[in-house]
Each structure stands twice: as structure tokens, then as C-alpha cells.
Structure 1
Amino acid sequence: MSNSTLFAPKWGRHNRIVISLLTVAVAIPLALNILVDPFDLFRVSPLGIGPFQNQRVRHITYLDEHPSRFNVLLMGTSIMGINSPSVVEKLVPGSRAYNMAFFLATPTDLLLAAKHLARTGALPSHVIVGVDSFLFVPRESTLSQQFRFPAVIERVSEGSWWMEAGFASSFSQVANKLFDSTSELHSVVYDQARGNYSLPAAAARIRANPASHSETVFRPTASRASADLLVAAEFEALGELVAFFERKKIRVLWVVQPNSSVLRSSYGPAQYAALKARVLGALRGDVVDLSDYQAVQDDPLSWYDLKHYTEAAGEVVLASAIRRSTTYASFSDTLP
């Protein structure tokens, strides 16, 4: 009897065990990712939307499904994302606004989204873009929250996109959504029909102990920010976005966002001046510079952290920008 015949049953059982273990190892993460759905990609989770919603997918899908519902679009990073479109509608009669800001947004993200919406006929006639330094910071990796909508990306098949999405989340992100779904106050709540988000748990902590929050959020930091580390290609993408809106005759208000005093000081005077000049140099048209807006930047209760202002502060910022804008002075006369 040959050795191959002698060991065939044993190796056959071994292979079946290995294949079974590999199948389980693949199936469990995939099932968790789909059923818990931390990034709200599959929309079958009984837990609803968690704190990691993929706004690049959600916003584009919603606007494609409602191409004529809005005539004003808010764009930017998560700093802009906290603003309620109702602020625009209160100040500008006839406006119907949607907040399409993305977490961890870059100008490339905004440009791709704007081009896609223009192709599908869902790009409104008026846009408000929040511009801040975080549009240009280096990204360590392409996080799952940054997955772009398949239709937006050239030369990427939808099948390969969904395959990657099926294994996108980590166990910690799955656990985070499970924990958040059982919390009385969620960390992040999204308004699906308007696009903006709120932070109820953080807001409750500020209300409960404003003195403690003030001491914590504006605590001096030893870390130093540098304008030299910002991504040059994203400044080029911002220039392309400016030119794209001009070609499409979109009326744009560029709002240079305020910075908390601690974040500003972390750059140092020379670096901060260089950053501000670089940002303003990339913009044209109706630009409202609120980067040194003292009504917000020096008040610790106006900030959830060193980067993100509160909803109340955001309302002050957005209202101030609209009142100073040349585009929105005659807004009602130009609405479609």
C-alpha cells in the first residue's frame, strides 16, 4: 500500500477542517459587518444608524433620490456638518437647504461629489462651502467612513466596492455601535432628511458641568500644528472645485471657518498667518473670512473640542456668513 493511499483519509479530514475553519473565520466578520453595519452601508441592521455613518454614501444616495428637493447645498468637513439647514432657511426666504458635509472631507471628496451631482442633475444652484484647515491634513489611511460612493469613483467596479465594504469594520467599531445603540443618549444623531448631525451626549455633558468643560476643552496643549504638513494636492483640488463651480455657474459662498483660540495658538503666529493666506489665496468670488471670529473662538462653551464648534455656535457662524455675503443679499431673486 502506498503512502498516498495510507494518508488520504487523514489529509482529507484535515483539509475539510481547515476549509471549515476558514469559512467560519470569513463568515463571522462578514455577518457582523452586515447585521450590525457600523458604517450604514447595507441598511439592514435592526440597530439603525450608529456613530460611524458613511456620509459619502448616504448623502449622495439621498440627493440622487431627491434631485429637485433642494436649491442650497452645504459642503465641508464635519465642522460644517453640525449646522442645521434650517438656519439658512430662516434667513433666506425661498431656500430649501441640505447639509452634504462629510466627516474627514478633503477638497477631492467635495469635487468628486459635486461632479457626480452635476451629472445626475442633483446639484443645486447655490452652495455654501465651509473651508477649514482639516480639509488639507494628511490622512493616515482610507478609513471605512471615507469610502466614496461607487458611482463617484472612476474605474472602480461596484462589485469590488461592496466586497471591500463587507469586511470594512473592525470588531471595536462593531462593539461601539452595539454599545451606542443601548445608550440613553447617543454619541451622534443624524437627521437623514436634512443631512446634518448632532452630538447629544456631548451637549449633555456641557450642560451638566460647564465649568469643567471650559477647563478641559481649552486646556493648553504642547502639540504644535504646522501649515507645512498640509497636503499640497488638496489645495490644488480646492482650486479645481472653485473653477468647476464657476464653469457650472453655481453661486457659491465660501465660509472660512473660525478656529478655537487653542488650535490657533498651536500653529504660532507665523504658521497661522501662512495657513490663512494659503487658504484665502485658493478662493475666488464671495468669500467671508470668519477665521478670527472672536464671538466664537475665545468661548470654550462654543466648542465640543478644539476643532468642532457647537450647534449654537454654528448657527451664529452660518448666520453671520450669510449676512455678510454678497451672493445671498439677493438670494431670493436668483432661486430657480
Structure 2
Amino acid sequence: MKALSIGSFDSFWKASLFCTGAVAWALPTWNVVVNPYQIFNDKHSIGARYTSSTTNERYLKVAHLVREARDRSPLAAENIVSVINESLDDRQKPKRELPNAFIVGSSIMGMIEPSLMETRLPVTHFYNLAFLAAKPDEILATLKGLKREGVLINNIVYGLEPIAFTDIKSYGPAYQLHPLADESSKQKVLFDYLFASSLSDGFSRLVTVLRGEPSVRYDIEGTGRYYLDRYDREIKKDHEAFIRKQFPIDAKPLNAPPWIENRFSELKGLVQWLKQEKVNARFYLNPLHPYVANAYGDDRLNEFKQRMTELTGQANLNDCTRLLINEDVNRRFYDYKHFRDVEAGKVLDCGLGIIGSS
């Protein structure tokens, strides 16, 4: 009887240890295989790369730009060998230019095609470095991190909107800065992602993979911009139905939150750093949907423009706030915040002063 009890006790602890180990490794396995934030190697993950709605562009864009700068450096050992070995014909072939200019700002800027910027600002090679819900301090930290790693920054274009200075929402793992930006340990960040609580984001990723039609797609290793594929599919199928869903007639009026004053201080710090580094910076005010413009009201929008003019030091700050407001306004926006990417050229003409602005 005693031996049976000891045996049962031993079996219980073995089973407990096994279950504990299984549970302990379940979360890291989930985060690597499902990979909702796209941080881990895609060789071990499901689905197409950078098609998760929770893709961490803050991390991945920096990683890509730094990797590109290092790989293309003439001082890199493999490149020295490559130059020695390449033929005259290879040397004469045009090589893709590394970016020396960046589109920055929130998700509103994220859909702008860099080539549109390059046609308007010659001798530039743009990459879209905009982030969802980007704040000025995050932009500054990211630019500083890239500069320390030898990434060339000659120009930036920053489209501003009041939402970024009133947004009080807190964000999760998909918004974690790259370690080079916040000067943290890369090992710690990866460990945190390995054990991140990502059940909701992971299931969202699984649904996307099973459907085979991503709602959003990030061109991290190309232009840096993103595409709202699901919205574009719905517009192509039935634009009027899309408008009825996105812009309901009985939408409740929106009350805009108060200003977050430290965001203005953060913008001042960014402007000062850009001047110190002799970066050619252009700022302008992004178009707003009337639903959002009415939420802030004329007085607050005028105040915002005045504060942006003072902080950026750009006396001719172009105001494109009402550029897209007309009888077809709902056809020109994806939702109350984001104008459609087909409008980007017109917005840039306004923002960069190529056409008149209000």
C-alpha cells in the first residue's frame, strides 16, 4: 500500500511537471507560429509576411532600414569582396538607391506612395516611415536611432492633424518601438514578444490566414507604405454600399478630447533636433473629414494651425484641412480619419505648396 502511494505520488508530480512545461511553452510556440506582430522569422510562421493587422511597423521598418544600410555599406567585408569580383558590366548597372528622405506621421501618412513625393521633390529617395497613431516623441526617437546607425536623413515630410495631439488611447505590443529607438535591449524585447499575451491578436491573424484575403498589407521591405486591401475590395465591389457602412447617416456627433499638452512639447523637441541635424523638414496640415473637423470646431482648428505654425517655424504652413470637403467627400475617404490613397497626389500638391491652399 505504501509503495502504491509513493508510485501514485511520483506519477502525479511527473504529470504536473509535464503539464507545467506544456503550458509554459504553449505561449512562446503560439507567438512564433502565429506571429501576430510579425517580429519572428517567417520560416516558422503561418501566412504571408506583413499581412497581419497587428504588424509592428515601428519595429520592422527600423530593422529593415538599418539592415539595408549595413548591407549596402562599402565598408562591409562582403561588399568589398563583391566589388573586387564583379565585372565591369555589373559595375555599370544602376543600383537601387538607399533612402535619404522619410515620410513621417500617423497612419494618415502611411498610405502615401514615396514615388509621389519624389516627383515633387527631385533628388530625393523617400521611404514611408509613418506609424499608426504615431506621436512626435516616437518619431524623434526613431529618427535618432536611425541616425546613430548611419542611415542618411536629408529630408522629412510630416503631415499633421489634431487627432495626434488629443489621442488618449493606450496601445499594446504592436506599437513597441525598435530597441535602437528606445535604447533598450534587443534580447529583452524579443523575450517580451515571445511571452506576450497575444490571444486576441493571434486569433485575428488566424482568421486572416484562413480567409486568404488580408485586410491590410505592409510593404516593409519596399516602399514602407501600407495598403487597405479589404476596403479597396469592398469599394471595387460596391462603393455605395461601402459608403453606407463606413459613413452612417445617423452617426452621433463626436466630441473631441482636450489637447495633450506634452505632445506639443514633443513636437518642439523634434523640430529642434531636425534643425540641429540640418534636416530639411516640411510640415503641413492634413485633410480632415467634416465629421472630424466639426468635432474640433473652427476655433480649435485655428488654434491648432497657429500652434503648429509657431512650433514648426514654418510661416507658410499649408493648411489642407478642408481640401477634400465637397459633395463627394465620402467617396474620398476610407473612414472618418483616412483619406483614400488615390487622393494622395492632390494632398501632396496642397501640402507642399504646389497648388494653392487655404
Instruction: Quickly name the TM-score band, shorter chain normalised.
Output: 0.7 to 0.9
Structure 2 residues not aligned, in runs of 5+: 70-96
The Cα shift of 1:241 comes to 0.3
The Cα shift of 1:82 comes to 0.6
CA contact (8 A) 1:261 1:298 kept: no
Q: CA RMSD in A?
A: 2.6
> Equivalent of 2:112, from 83, 86, 89?
83
The Cα shift of 1:127 comes to 0.7
The Cα shift of 1:19 comes to 2.9
Cα distance in 2 for partners of 1:223, 1:295 equals: 17
- 1:17 to 1:147, Cα distance in 2 relative to 1, 3 A: same
Cα distance in 2 for partners of 1:297, 1:290 equals: 17
Cα distance per residue 1:158-192 (max 9 Å; x no partner): 22211111133522322222222343532111222
> What residue in structure 2 maps to residue 41 of structure 1?
39
The Cα shift of 1:120 comes to 1.6
Say yes or no: does 1:175 pair with 2:190.
Answer: no
- 1:140 to 1:22, Cα distance in 2 relative to 1, 3 A: farther
Q: For residue 126 of structure 1, what is the amino acid of its counterpart?
A: N
Q: How does 1:109-128 map to 2 (within 5 A)?
A: 109-128=138-157
> What residue in structure 2 maps to residue 104 of structure 1?
133
> Equivalent of 1:187, from 201, 210, 215?
215
The Cα shift of 1:318 comes to 1.8
Q: For residue 26 of structure 2, what is the amino acid of its counterpart?
A: I
Q: How does 1:1-336 map to 2 (within 5 A)?
A: 10-44=8-42, 45-47=45-47, 48-49=49-50, 50-67=52-69, 69-154=98-183, 156-168=184-196, 170-191=198-219, 192-219=221-248, 220-228=250-258, 230-285=259-314, 287-294=317-324, 299-324=329-354
Cα distance in 2 for partners of 1:27, 1:273 equals: 54
Higher deviation after alignment, 11-20 or 82-91: 11-20
With the length of structure 1 as denominator, give the TM-score of the two structures: 0.86
Cα distance in 1 for partners of 2:235, 2:306 equals: 34
> What residue in structure 2 maps to residue 331 of structure 1?
none
Cα distance in 2 for partners of 1:297, 1:84 equals: 26
> What residue in structure 2 maps to residue 332 of structure 1?
none
With the length of structure 2 as denominator, give the TM-score of the two structures: 0.81
Cα distance in 1 for partners of 2:347, 2:326 equals: 8
Cα distance in 2 for partners of 1:277, 1:173 equals: 39
The Cα shift of 1:147 comes to 0.8
- 1:57 to 1:291, Cα distance in 2 relative to 1, 3 A: same
In the comparison of the two structures, how many residue pairs are matched? 321
- 1:214 to 1:37, Cα distance in 2 relative to 1, 3 A: same
Q: For residue 67 of structure 2, what is the amino acid of its counterpart?
A: E
> What residue in structure 1 maps to residue 74 of structure 2?
none
- 1:9 to 1:94, Cα distance in 2 relative to 1, 3 A: same
Cα distance per residue 1:238-288 (max 9 Å; x no partner): 110011101111001112111101111123344444444444443223632
The Cα shift of 1:42 comes to 0.8
Cα distance in 1 for partners of 2:304, 2:122 equals: 35
Q: For residue 218 of structure 2, what is the amino acid of its counterpart?
A: Y
CA contact (8 A) 2:286 2:351 kept: no
Cα distance in 2 for partners of 1:297, 1:289 equals: 20
The Cα shift of 1:310 comes to 0.9
Cα distance in 2 for partners of 1:97, 1:206 equals: 28
The Cα shift of 1:214 comes to 2.9
Structure 1 residues not aligned, in runs of 5+: 326-336
Residue 186 of structure 1 aligns to a residue whose secondary structure is coil
Cα distance in 1 for partners of 2:141, 2:118 equals: 26
Cα distance in 2 for partners of 1:120, 1:101 equals: 19
CA contact (8 A) 2:101 2:127 kept: yes
Q: For residue 54 of structure 1, what is the amino acid of its counterpart?
A: N
The Cα shift of 1:77 comes to 0.7
- 1:181 to 1:316, Cα distance in 2 relative to 1, 3 A: farther
Higher deviation after alignment, 129-138 or 142-151: 129-138
- 1:118 to 1:72, Cα distance in 2 relative to 1, 3 A: same
The Cα shift of 1:302 comes to 1.1
